[in-house]
Structure 1
Amino acid sequence: MAEYKEDIEKTGAGAQKIHKIRITLTSRNVKPLEKFCADLINRAKDRDLNVKGPVRLPTKVLKHTTRKSYSLW
C-alpha cells in the first residue's frame, strides 16, 4: 500500500489512469481479418492512442508421432 500512495503523490491526484488493452482476433479468412485490424488501428490513431501490433500468432500445428508401447516388466 505504501508504494501505491507514493505513486499517487508522484503523479498527482488529477492524473489519468493508463489502460492497457489486448485483443486477440482469430479467423480462417486472413483478408477480412487484416482489413478489420487496419480499420481498428486507424480508429485508435485518430484518437491519438498508442498502438502496438498487430502481432501474428502461429498458425501451423506441430505434430510429432511416437510409438506407444506398453512395458513388459
Structure 2
Amino acid sequence: MKIVRRIGASPRERGSLSGETCPDIFELSDGNFAVIGTEATATLDSELPADAGRADHERIVVISRETLLRARADIPEA
C-alpha cells in the first residue's frame, strides 16, 4: 500500500504555515483513503450513533470542514 496522491489542497495552501494544524487526505494505491487529523476517539466514541461501530484498531479522527470541502472536487466518483 502506497500513497498515490493528495486529495484536495495541501495544508500550506489552506494557510497552515506553522505545521501545527495539518489535516490531510490521501488516496492509496489500493483505492482506500488515509486521513491525517486530530485524534478524538475518547471524546467522540460515546457519541457514535447506535448503528455505528468502531473496532479496537480503529480511531476517530477530526479534520476541518475546509479540508473536506476543498477535497470534494478531487474525490473520484467510482
TM-score (norm 2): 0.16
Higher helix share: 1
- Structure with the greater relative contact order (CA < 8 A, sep ≥ 6): 1 or 2? 2
TM-score (norm 1): 0.17
Higher strand share: 2
State which structure, 1 or 2, has the greater radius of gyration over its C-alpha atoms.
1
